Amino acid sequence: MNYYSLNNQSPKVTFGEAALRGQAPDKGLYFPEKVPTLPDGFIKNIKNLSKEEIGFTVMKPYVGDSLPTDVLQQIINETINFDFPLIPITDNISSLELFHGPTLAFKDVGARFMSRCLGYFNRNAYHHTTVLVATSGDTGGAVANGFLGVDGIDVVILYPSGKVSKIQELQLTTLGKNIKAIEVNGTFDDCQALVKQVFADKDLNNKLSLTSANSINVARWLPQQLYYFLAYQQWKHDEPPVICVPSGNFGNICAGVIANISGLPVKHFLAACNANDVVPTYMQTAKYEPKQAVATVSNAMDVGNPSNFIRIIELFHQQFDSLKSMFSSVSISDEITVDTIKRVYKEHNYTLDPHGAVAYYALEQYLKEEGKSLEKGIILETAHPVKFPDTVEEAIGTEVAIPEEVKYLLDQQKQSILMEPSFEALKEWLMNR
């Protein structure tokens, strides 16, 4: 399997080269030459397969010869060695809980897969690779945890000051060792713009071996397909599910779409957004107009120019009508988000986090549309409610129990470097660190 740049100005590369580079030299995102087709009988037999068998079968075509078979199998085993339960909330809406990994967020899968890939690719290198990543919340913690102590890898995480929750901030600022956190006095879009400037700067690229751990990197983006296969393995209905994904940078739902194109049965994809409504607006007007991100209670989705949406458009061959037949997107307000957390807890004794609440309301309304009353769907619950205590506890009227996995963080000391959203300041720090 080779990968080409969506800007079509760079040579094709292997999976290993794409993972190490992150972004193509022409600043485009890497994209697989073709979407592989699932083996005959795979879906029919999926309930009899182990998680590890599913993971290996799905990822092997994308990895190609970049990883030996035994290495890929070990990486898969370590990537998904926790639960992904599909929990019914109502008769027609179930929640795929993706927060049972080490940092209580869906991004654990991509971060663990990528960190182990880069560790292998870097095993004989004489220089360090610098992983540079911007986070709106959960990416930072998952990347920090995934890469902690990996030989030959230095991690630099940019996050917007005051715009991530306490638990999220502690997860990315307390590990030390090869992990450095830069607290940017701005928005996630400012952080992402700084990362893009770094990758475009000749001086920094001459000095450092750079790659990204955001979902622009194929090694972080593609393993997210596994959520959808593991959900379908647990699906108990005859008809395929409508899948609703809380969406910010659109890497997660894009992975679901590519899984569907490869052969995974899905009825429809619904991208649930907060007030950052660039994609919902596009789906109504066919005009893509990035905006400055605005802060919401579902902060991990506060993205005004989602990087991965171009990949979704590519998967549908730039055909808007084809995209619209399988994919839709809506914007949900903070007021409705909080009310949904409160209502679902009261009526169904299920605690949603703000991102899951956006997805729940969007799917609930979709299933009420004419002709869809018999359809059933899945929301992706992407983070544990404990990461958003202010919003969740106010909505449900009680404290969210802190899981044992993160209790130790409350005694840790935050370590970050405060910086204005200035490329010059970031460049100077990177050149002299």
Residue 325 lies in a domain: yes
Q: Over the stretch 345-367, which tens digit does the pLDDT of each residue have?
A: 999 999 999 999 999 999 999 99
Residue 433 lies in a domain: no
Instruction: Kindly tell me if the per-residue pLDDT of 165 is higher than 90.
Output: no
- Please compute the mean of the pLDDT values over residues 389-398 and round it to a whole number: 94
Q: Residue 92 is part of which domain span?
A: 84-104+221-404
- pTM value is 0.91
The per-residue pLDDT for 196 is 86
Residue 129 lies in a domain: no
The owner of tokens 């909080």 is: 338
Instruction: Kindly tell me if the per-residue pLDDT of 423 is higher than 80.
Output: yes
Residue 371 lies in a domain: yes
Residue 395 lies in a domain: yes
- CATH number of domain containing 387: 3.40.50.1100
Band of pLDDT at residue 407, cut at 50, 70 and 90: confident
Q: Over the stretch 87-109, which tens digit does the pLDDT of each residue have?
A: 999 999 999 999 999 999 999 99
User: What's the whole-number average pLDDT of the chain?
Assistant: 94
Domain count of the fold of the chain = 1
Residue 192 lies in a domain: no
The per-residue pLDDT for 188 is 83
- Please compute the mean of the pLDDT values over residues 176-193 and round it to a whole number: 92
